[in-house]
Structure 1
Amino acid sequence: MDCGYFDAGVCRSCHWLTTPYAVQLARKQAAVAAMLPEVRWREPVASYESGFRNKAKMVVGGTAAEPTLGILDHDGRGVDLRECGLHDPRLHDALPLVADLVRAAGVTPYAVPERRGELKHVIATVAPSGDLMVRFVLRSSEAVPRLRKHLHLLTDALPVVVASVNLQPRHTAILEGPDEILLTEQETLRMEVNGIGLHLRPQSFFQTNTEVAARLYGEASGLVDAVAPASVWDLYCGVGGFGLHVAAAGRAVVGVETSEQAIDSARLTSAERGAEATWVAGDATAFALDSDPRHVPELVVVNPPRRGIGPALSAWLEASGVRYVVYSSCNARTLAADLERMPSLVPRSARLLDMFPHTEHHEVLTLLSRA
């Protein structure tokens, strides 16, 4: 992928960009295999090299009259990256109109060095259908009426189905706050993945590479089908991507996730599909530890954050009698640590799925079965 921003030294986030993609993929495969040397590895799943990101997380800088959408330089000033080659081309079409809306509404970008201003970030997400969700991260609700007034500049020109304001008043590196104000009647963006319409609310997590996410869910579903469990738990289920793919085979599925918004989304998709699944808002580890040992599932899917599932849930799985685990990990190092805590659950196969070209980040899908 050619990138003028990289060549000019403006942005170096894609630090492997000058490495041929085939070499990147081989390097990642070697790195994860070194951390999990006893696993039988299948052929890695490659990504498109450009245009693969369904989400643009843009720091807003500059002025209300001339906003920048991109990153901050070393001095905390805005650098415009709205033509980033990683983004789906439909995001390229949207971002200039987002900047027009910022100008029309007179929303002052937040200046990090001075800790002054209102608009911190713009987050735009595109679905396979082309529909868009656009979020504005503000310090306060002061500019909300003006954004509402001028929102038609986006909705008249683009298929923006969800728009919202997130309030993050603190001077912190945390991207967003807990409070969300909807600017549209519609609350969810429908992400069609393998024929399943997953509903995303503004604060819902979804993989940023839709094509590889579809492969990930499909691969996991194939692993589950191969061992044919009657019952499945989907822990850290998010909006239900894994659980809904598995529930499509008519199995008893329980999904657990801390985010109420994500659980509401999973319930909505589940109801639309007529899937017999139960969705629980709560901590995955606490759910497992508090469960009735007489009614553990045959298979557990886990898709934890980078820290992994940790000692408590690993110990529970080791002692539980669960026959199979499908573990989706974005950090092979913590995956390896978790596997060491579960010696009775033996890795049978693993596959690297490249969600994040041009970086060392990776996704690994592993099937474990009880020895």
Structure 2
Amino acid sequence: MQKNDLVTVQIEDMGTGGEGIGKVDGCALFIKDAIIGDLVEAKIMKMKKNYGYARLMNILTPSPARQNARCREARRCGGCQIQEMDYRQQLAFKKDKVENNLLRLGGVPREILESAMEGIIGMDEPFRYRNKAQYPVGRDREGRLTAGFYAGRTHQIIPVPDMDCALGAEDNQAVLEKILAFMEEYSISPYDEEAHAGLVRHVLIRKGFTTGELMVCLVINGESIPHSDVLAKRLSQIPGMTSITCSINREKTNVIMGNEIRTIWGQSYITDYIGPVKFHISPLSFFQVNPVQTEKLYGAALEFAGLTGKETVWDLYCGIGTISLFLAREAGQVYGVEIVPQAIEDAKNNAAANGIENARFHVGKAEEVLPDLYEKEGIRADVIVVDPPRKGCEQAVLETMVKMQPERIVYVSCDPATLARDVKYLRESGYEIKRVKAVDMFPHTVHVETVCCLHRVNS
């Protein structure tokens, strides 16, 4: 096969980015927008030795799982890689993804995994679930102000007036319309990243799904927003508006938020709940974007921890204390560790706001904090909970966890591949998988969260 060849491909699997995968003459082809079960005609775009990339040209026979996307810009946007796949099939695909990674990369024996693996937790209504959205602001080809999302792998903005994101809160549209109208009226320019000129870079919108509170934060390439009192008056008329701020970001960077936040109107934060636990959420706070599924995810972690009220629990990568405060309701003592100082401040404030006194939080690297407190204060761990970033646990963290010899390790993962890698290490170090449950936190995308419980099997 060569570039520009047309081939017929039966799609049998899907890649990590949501591409359909099929084989032609023993060579795997990755085809964007194709799903499992499709028979497609595709055009070869790039070939390597054993695999290649092709562009979907025609769907010759659609998969039984194929459906019309609710959003007409789903393919161009790229944020929902599998919105054209029936939701039940999405769940089956994600559960298989977790299983296959644990089998192939983690080396977990099939009989052990079959005993441990439980059903995936999906959503009753898999749309409108995101409580946070970040919109770049710019100009379209005709020079008109626009805000929306970047098209996949580009910095071309797909404007929101043409695309009411099916995953975001319905309030977002009204917020953006008021901001763009204000910018037009007062000749406030959007940011141009090539020229490093212009003022408004992004608009961050967060919503408390339980409280109904709304936050708007404008990320700006400057010190202030002209006529911000007018903007605040207009935005404050939107029901639920609680916090209007700006984030100062004058750097030449792809990082969206700046570190300095200035309040324009109202509070500097909003509040929301996960289950019975209340959280203060600032523009810079990490907070799970799907609160409905987060409660189920953390509920599974709490169940897997098997707490009786006497255990000492360590929560590594604790962030603003979301899992820690869930655990503290049923643990004897919880210790949270996080390297980001502001997150620990938020965690302490959240504990105080909920009247939780059996949770202590420490700033630092887990591999340094744990041994220090263990050796100096004799604090041990009955249960360790980890919720690391996508790259998984640092090797030193895994080594420290094994040295602490907790009875149970509860691993909350956002990447089945790094989960499998870390499970392999833990299984080789005296632990065995007992329970695994996948949770669909991001319907219509290829991402899946997993909760895995390992028990110590040697003394």
2:415 alignment counterpart: 331
Give a deviation string over 1:293-350, Cα, whole Å, max 9, x none: 4322211111111111121000111122222111111011111111222231222111
The separation in 2 between residues aligned to 1:148 and 1:287, in whole angstroms, is 46
CA change 1:184–1:232 in 2 (3 A) is: farther
Q: Does 1:118 align with 2:186?
A: no
SS of match in other structure, 1:88: coil
CA change 1:77–1:44 in 2 (3 A) is: closer
Give a deviation string over 1:196-236, Cα, whole Å, max 9, x none: 11111220101111110111111112222456651111111
CA change 1:308–1:148 in 2 (3 A) is: farther
1:31 alignment counterpart: 97
Tell me if structure 2 keeps the 8 A contact 1:61–1:109: yes
SS of match in other structure, 1:295: coil
Shift, 1:290, TM fit: 2.8
The separation in 2 between residues aligned to 1:321 and 1:105, in whole angstroms, is 62
CA change 1:297–1:201 in 2 (3 A) is: same
Match of 1:51 among 89, 105, 128: 128
The separation in 1 between residues aligned to 2:239 and 2:134, in whole angstroms, is 18
CA change 1:93–1:285 in 2 (3 A) is: farther
The separation in 2 between residues aligned to 1:268 and 1:338, in whole angstroms, is 32
2:393 alignment counterpart: 309
SS of match in other structure, 1:341: helix
Q: Does 1:13 align with 2:79?
A: yes
Larger mean Cα displacement after TM superposition, 102-111 or 31-40: 102-111
- Compare relative contact order (CA 8 Å, sep 6+) and give the higher one, 1 or 2: 1
The separation in 2 between residues aligned to 1:302 and 1:362, in whole angstroms, is 16
SS of match in other structure, 2:454: strand
SS of match in other structure, 1:245: helix
1:358 alignment counterpart: 444
- The alignment-based identity, stated in percent, is 26
Query: Looking at CA atoms only, which structure, 1 or 2, has the larger radius of gyration?
Result: 2
Q: Does 1:232 align with 2:313?
A: yes
Within 5 Å, which residues of 2 pair with 1:66-145? 66-73=144-151, 76-81=155-160, 83-104=164-185, 106-128=187-209, 129-141=211-223, 143-145=224-226
SS of match in other structure, 2:370: helix
Tell me if structure 1 keeps the 8 A contact 2:132–2:168: yes
Give a deviation string over 1:100-136, Cα, whole Å, max 9, x none: 3444554311123433212111110100221011111
Give a deviation string over 1:22-74, Cα, whole Å, max 9, x none: 111111111110111333111101123211111111111128x9532212457
Structure 2, unmatched stretches of 5+, are 1-68
The separation in 2 between residues aligned to 1:91 and 1:251, in whole angstroms, is 42
What amino acid maps onto 1:61 in structure 2? Answer: G
Tell me if structure 2 keeps the 8 A contact 1:315–1:341: no
The separation in 2 between residues aligned to 1:196 and 1:120, in whole angstroms, is 33
SS of match in other structure, 1:16: coil
What amino acid maps onto 1:22 in structure 2? Answer: R
Shift, 1:273, TM fit: 2.3
Tell me if structure 1 keeps the 8 A contact 2:310–2:333: no
CA change 1:261–1:158 in 2 (3 A) is: farther
Shift, 1:149, TM fit: 4.5
The separation in 2 between residues aligned to 1:323 and 1:107, in whole angstroms, is 59
SS of match in other structure, 1:275: coil
Shift, 1:254, TM fit: 1.3
The separation in 1 between residues aligned to 2:226 and 2:431, in whole angstroms, is 55
Shift, 1:262, TM fit: 2.3
SS of match in other structure, 1:244: helix
CA change 1:271–1:72 in 2 (3 A) is: closer
Tell me if structure 2 keeps the 8 A contact 1:60–1:68: yes
Larger mean Cα displacement after TM superposition, 176-185 or 305-314: 176-185
Structure 1, unmatched stretches of 5+, are none
CA change 1:34–1:76 in 2 (3 A) is: closer
Give a deviation string over 1:71-115, Cα, whole Å, max 9, x none: 245774432125111112233343323333444554311123433
What amino acid maps onto 2:135 in structure 1? Answer: M
SS of match in other structure, 2:279: strand
Match of 2:279 among 181, 186, 198: 198
Tell me if structure 1 keeps the 8 A contact 2:312–2:331: no
Structural RMSD (CA) = 2.2
The separation in 1 between residues aligned to 2:316 and 2:216, in whole angstroms, is 28
Q: Does 1:318 align with 2:395?
A: no
Tell me if structure 1 keeps the 8 A contact 2:160–2:173: no
Q: Does 1:292 align with 2:374?
A: yes
The separation in 2 between residues aligned to 1:329 and 1:227, in whole angstroms, is 24
SS of match in other structure, 1:130: coil
CA change 1:69–1:285 in 2 (3 A) is: farther
The separation in 1 between residues aligned to 2:190 and 2:239, in whole angstroms, is 23
